[in-house]
Structure 1
Amino acid sequence: MIVAGRGGGEGVRLVLESEEAMLLSELADQVDSVLLLGEADDPALGRLLPSAYPEDVAAAQEFTRYTRDSLVDGKRQAAQSVRDATAVDDGSDGVVQIELDQAQAWGWLTFLTDLRLILAERVGIIEEGEDAASETRDDYLRAAYEWAGFVQGSMLEVLDPIKP
């Protein structure tokens, strides 16, 4: 994976191996599935859509009634944009290049955040730096979590570089 700035600092260019593109597409399907089919008691869904008022059930239900659909729609649109961009063409010679303007790139960052929240829940990561012994062992999910973090960090460095 290569992440580079587009000319004039107006977005991001991603260069992915076709396997990386397929992985992102599959992970986008899984995020969408959690949003559409997730049970109300699924802790991953709870991380994506936390209660605005954990101490006040009535206020939380009222808030959810007015905001949940638009939050879910925005998260699903972000996942769909990743799926659309990572559709692998059979004649792609093993490399997929994706040009994202700033708005599209920030949408991808939304998706990557959602993905990492779900994966963190599935692996058992509660807080960064937590003792690894308390985590559930799943090397594939852990690797996907770390790789998504690398992609996210690389994109952020291009979109919002720290200036000395």
Structure 2
Amino acid sequence: MIVATRPGGEGVKLVLESEEALLLSELADQVDSVLLLGAEDDPALGRLLPNAYPDDREAAAEFARYTRDGLLDGKRQAAQAVRDATSLDEEADGVEIVLDESQAWGWLTFLTDLRLILAERVGLDEDTVVAIDGDTRRDDYLRAAYEWAGFVQGSMLEVLDPTDG
């Protein structure tokens, strides 16, 4: 994968191999499924839509009532944009995706959501790495996807904000 400044200087150009594009498309489908079909008690959905008022059930419910649908819709649109951009022709060796700055930030939203879901599925939290019970091969795949998505996200951020900080 190659991440570079978009021609004209604003935004991002991604060059993905076919396998990378397919992986992103499949992961976008999975993120969309969590957003669309996730149970209220799904911890991954809880990480995407955290409780704004953990000590006040009534305020939390009121906040969710006014914001949840809009947040879900924005996250689903971001996943759809990734899915659309990563669709391949059968004969393609890869895909080149040129994103303006606004589109790139939408992709970063998707990558953040993806990494939050993957982190929840394999038991990663802010402070520690905790292995959860389950299929080790599945967890290895999810951890690899988590790391790769982080690489893509970091590469895009370096292009969008190249300051040394």
**Cα distance between partner residues in 1 of 2:33 and 2:12:** 27
Q: How does 1:72-111 map to 2 (within 5 A)?
A: 72-92=72-92, 94-111=93-110
Query: Quick one: which amino acid aligns to residue 105 of structure 1?
Result: A
- Give the TM-score, by structure 2 length: 0.94
- Counterpart of 2:40 in 1: which secondary structure? coil
- Counterpart of 1:81 in 2: which secondary structure? helix
Query: For residues 19-62 of structure 1, what are the alpha-carbon distances to aligned partners after superposition, in whole Å with 9 as ceiling and x for unaligned?
Result: 10010000000000000100000000000000000110000000
Query: Quick one: which amino acid aligns to residue 117 of structure 2?
Result: I
Question: Which residue is 2:154 aligned to?
Answer: 153
**Cα distance between partner residues in 2 of 1:82 and 1:124:** 25
- Give the TM-score, by structure 1 length: 0.94
Structure 1 residue ranges without an equivalent (≥5): none
Aligned residues with identical type, % of pairs: 76
User: Is 1:9–1:159's contact at 8 Å kept on the other side of the alignment?
Assistant: no
* Aligned-residue offset at 1:163: 4.3
Question: Which residue is 1:13 aligned to?
Answer: 13
Query: Quick one: which amino acid aligns to residue 13 of structure 2?
Result: R
Question: Which residue is 1:26 aligned to?
Answer: 26
Query: Quick one: which amino acid aligns to residue 95 of structure 1?
Result: G
* Aligned-residue offset at 1:135: 2.3
Structure 2 residue ranges without an equivalent (≥5): none
Question: Which residue is 1:37 aligned to?
Answer: 37
Q: CA RMSD in A?
A: 1.2
Question: Which residue is 2:145 aligned to?
Answer: 144
Q: Residues 163 and 126 of structure 1: is their aligned pair in 2 closer, same or farther, counting only changes over 3 Å?
A: closer
List 4+ stretches of structure 1 deviating above 3 A: none
Q: How does 1:124-139 map to 2 (within 5 A)?
A: 124-128=123-127, 130=128, 132=129, 134-136=130-132, 137=136, 138-139=139-140
